[in-house]
Amino acid sequence: MACAIRFALRDNGAVSITTAQEQQFYDAAYAVHRHTPDHALRTNRESMLRDLNQPGGAFYERRKLYSAVLAELLSEPLAGRVVLDYGCGVGEWGVLMATEGARVTLLDLSPVAIEIGLRRAAANDVGHKVRGYARDASDLSCFADGEFDLIYASAALHHTLKYPNALAELLRVLRPGGKLILAETYGNNMILNGLRRFRWRLSRQPEDAGEDIILGDRELDLLRSHFSRVSVTPMNLLAMAKRVFRGRFGSRAVCATIGWLEAIDLRLLNSLPFLGRYCGEVLVVAER
Ligand SMILES: C[S@@+](CC[C@H](N)C(=O)[O-])C[C@H]1O[C@@H](n2cnc3c(N)ncnc32)[C@H](O)[C@@H]1O
């Protein structure tokens, strides 16, 4: 297993950012949420659906991906399930699952993320169903083997795969027969990857703190070698142009353009499914 996991490292085998630096990056990014009032931390199925359809909302840009995630999570029997929100950020998804009856663990490198996530849980009256751990996912020794029925990771696995032990630990804490659900940036498209790198350089974002290891075929093959079934649903090909319109989703013309690109994508991907591997986002459901 160790060999396979090392395979997921960058081509030069280097990890060019330390976990401390990555933590610092995310602590700073999440600190702004300390000023968010409790009522604005309310998260449940209805608020999620509303946010997905609100052009000014945080989820709008990824609404196709997150709508698919929401449908996937809600199709699970969540009540009583033991769930890990892996690289949870400020905990929207984990708390959402707690409001559906799951017993949720929030895990993130950033203590600020966990602080906000736990506040969110309390603000939704599910504090008793949610616990939080601020730690590096490459050491999950605080959890027992097979402790979780379901692990959900949104835009997080591509951060942790660069650490040699992370996948081994994830596999250890997922029970046999358990499920891994991933919402990820899909990384097979060289043009999109080039544009992403260009943007990080412009914004002076350290690549590894961002999305240098975006999930691509290599990482999916790695997952296939550890899971009995891996289903991959790519989305947004031409509609990835939405990134150009970031911050302008309130405009009717922008919404219409994105809707139009999404409609073309649907036709393209239906008639030429191989184009799916060049999409910009992907939902992965893997069964252990
Ligand atoms: C792009 S954010 C996604 C956050 C959240 N899941 C979401 O969808 O909004 C990536 C998250 O992974 C966390 N992360 C990065 N490296 C990690 C590690 N080694 N262990 C645990 N969490 C990590 C970061 O702190 C950050 O919150």
Q: Give all domains of the chain, ordered by start, each with its CATH number.
A: 2-287 (3.40.50.150)
Residue whose CA is at the smallest distance from ligand 1 atom 3: 155
| pLDDT score for 283 | 97
Per mean pLDDT, which range of 5-14, 55-64, 89-98 is the poorest?
A: 5-14
| pLDDT score for 133 | 98
Give me the DSSP letters along the chain.
-HHHHHTTS-TT----S-HHHHHHHHHHHHHGGGGS-GGGG--SHHHHHHHHT-TTSTTGGGHHHHHHHHHHHHTS--TT-EEEEET-TT-HHHHHHHHTT-EEEEEES-HHHHHHHHHHHHHTT-GGGEEEEES-TT--TTS-TT-EEEEEEES-HHHHTTSTTHHHHHHHHEEEEEEEEEEEEB---HHHHHHHHHHHHHTT--GGGTTSS-B-HHHHHHHHTT-SEEEEEEE-SGGGGGGGGTT-TTSHHHHHHHHHHHHHHHHHHHH-GGGGGG-SEEEEEEE-
- Mean pLDDT of the chain, nearest integer: 88
**In this predicted model, what pLDDT tens digit does every residue of 37-70 receive, in sequence order?**
999 999 999 999 999 988 877 788 899 999 999 9
Centroid of ligand 1 to alpha carbon of 251 (angstroms): 30
* Ligand 1 pocket list (CB less than 6 A): 19, 22, 26, 87-89, 108-110, 113, 136-138, 154-156, 159-160, 163
**In this predicted model, what pLDDT tens digit does every residue of 217-243 receive, in sequence order?**
989 999 999 999 999 999 999 988 888
Q: Model's pTM, two decimal places?
A: 0.89
Centroid of ligand 1 to alpha carbon of 237 (angstroms): 25
Q: Which ligand 1 atom sits nearest the alpha carbon of residue 19?
A: 19
Centroid of ligand 1 to alpha carbon of 201 (angstroms): 20
Centroid of ligand 1 to alpha carbon of 257 (angstroms): 31
Per-residue pLDDT at 210 exceeds 60: no
